[in-house]
Amino acid sequence: MTFDQDLLTQLRDARHGVVFTGAGVSAESGIATFRDALSGLWSRFDPMQLATPEAFAADPELVWGWYESRRRQVLCSSPNPGHIAIAELAKRLPQLTLVTQNVDDLHERAGSRDVLHLHGSLHYPRCSRCAAPFELAPAPRVEATEGRRLAPPRCLQCGGAVRPGIVWFGESLPVAALETAFAAAADCDLLLSVGTSGVVYPAAQVPEIALHNGATVVHVNPDPQALGGTDEWLLAGAAGEILPALLQAAFQD
């Protein structure tokens, strides 16, 4: 695999890099994306029945069971070479901010620290009434059957139903994480946008802010349509193949 020399120089010399990831970075770990035509979660399930506060109020067992099955699938999965390359990149640059839309913990398990989770996490549920965090018992390392209904646990403080710690449609993103992500995007000189369709706002503003502030924006995506404007680069392919090769080419020691 060969890369443009100018791009390699920019990566090597970057003062502050931002990596912005979406579901595609976890695809090679066996976690489904949302919008890929056949395999994407939102082509098989209706988000309005699973990913809104109204859906949880109407059918908590359905919603809790679906997220619990996704959490168990993540627990049975491992970080792939794409996650590992991103953790490695943090050691090579003076500053790196990792912003993810993903709700799994594969970046952390690959060794990344201080990951900004803009859309919450499967691993940190909270009470739907008083917002107290709820500690889940370690799940058995077996995959839950998709679609199995499961009663949500009850909050130990107030008895309310515990809900997934996910940002649902119609809900606000965590303010501190979003502000830090926007500030990093405005400050960085290079942003890698990895495995995202870039259609969900306000998260999708992160690469736009970087571009607007003069940073080089590089998309890593097998879909050629992922390229935004003319000032952007596209490295077409799977993150687990492109990222390790890119690091190897830029930082060959």
Applying CB under 6 A, the residues found at the interface with ligand OAD are 22-24, 27-28, 33-36, 40, 101, 103, 119, 166-167, 195-197, 200, 220-223, 226, 238-239
67 is an annotated ligand-binding site residue: yes
The least CB distance from residue 159 to ligand OAD, in Å, is 27
Q: How far apart are CA 216 and CA 7, in angstroms?
A: 9
Residue from 119, 123, 212, 219 carrying the catalytic annotation: 119
Shortest distance, CB of residue 227 to ligand OAD, whole angstroms? 11
Nearer residue to ligand OAD within complex by CB, 22 or 79: 22
Helices 239-251, 5-13: crossing angle, 10 deg rounding: 80
Nearer to ligand OAD, 90 or 227 (CB): 227
Of residues 95 and 245, the one with the C-beta less far from ligand OAD: 245
H runs (alpha helix) in 159-238 = 175-187, 205-212
Q: Is 123 a catalytic residue?
A: no
Residue placing its CB nearer to ligand OAD in the complex, 152 or 165 = 165
Residue 249 CB-half CA count within 13 A: 17
Ligand-binding site membership of 222 (annotated): yes
Helix, coil or strand: residue 115: coil
Residue number with the smallest Cβ distance to ligand OAD: 24
Tell me if 155 is assigned to a ligand binding site: yes
Q: How far is the CB of 33 from ligand OAD (least distance, A)?
A: 3
Beta bridge partners of 20: 99, 193
Our CB check for ligand OAD shows the closer of 138 and 229 to be 229
Cβ contacts of 21 within 8 Å, gap of 6 or more: 86, 98, 99, 100, 101, 102, 107, 194, 195, 196
- End-to-end C-alpha distance for the chain, whole angstroms: 17
- Residue 188 labeled ligand binder: no
Instruction: Tell me whether the omega of the peptide bond preceding residue 202 falls within 30 degrees of 0, making it cis.
Output: yes
Gap between the Cα atoms of 36 and 184, Å rounded: 29
120 is in an annotated binding site: no
213 is in an annotated binding site: no
49 burial via Cβ count (<10 Å: 0-12, 13-18, 19+): middle
Supply the residues annotated as catalytic: 119
**Which residue numbers belong to the known binding site for substrate?**
67, 70
**Which residue numbers belong to the known binding site for Zn(2+)?**
127, 130, 155, 158
